[in-house]
Amino acid sequence: MTPRPLKLKREVGRVGVLPIADELPIARVWVDTGVFHLDGTYDYLIPEKYSEIVRVGVRVEVEFGNSIQEGLVVDRVGKSETVTKFKQISKVLSPHAVATTETIAL
């Protein structure tokens, strides 16, 4: 019997926990999952280092499930309606807003 090659499992490591923004620390993010029934918004904590640049219309990178996905910030709030353990925004992809509140509402 010939030995089978090993199959390596790809794992996504968690980013260390960073200090959270003091003002409006939660971003509502529309995550581009590619699955139409998961098209709602999800709440993510905003790290302090991104506090000044995370605003409506900014593209961000977030952990969604076990993968890293691109998302669009649609709102910034002080409290969440969800009672879960929140993940943090991993990275800001561009500090320039690509959409406005009005265009997101369409």
Of residues 69 and 1, more confidently modeled: 69
Quote the CATH superfamily of domain 26-101.
PriA, 3(prime) DNA-binding domain (3.40.1440.60)
Nearest of 28, 51, 21 to residue 105 by alpha carbon: 28
- Looking at the predicted structure, is the pLDDT value of residue 92 above 60? yes
Residue 56 in tokens: 């409506």
Rounded Cα distance between 105 and 54, Å, is 18
Sorting pLDDT into bands at 50, 70 and 90, what band is 59? very high
**What is the pTM assigned to this prediction?**
0.79
Residue 23 CB partners (closer than 8 Å, separation 6+): 51, 78
- pLDDT tens-place string over residues 5-55: 766 665 555 556 788 999 999 999 999 887 877 778 999 999 999 999 999
**What one-character-per-residue DSSP string does 24-63 give?**
S-EEEEEE--S-GGG-SEEEEEPBGGGTTT--TT-EEEEE
Structural domain boundaries of the chain?
Answer: 26-101
Region of 2 on the Ramachandran plot (φ > 0 left; ψ -120 to 50 alpha; else beta): beta
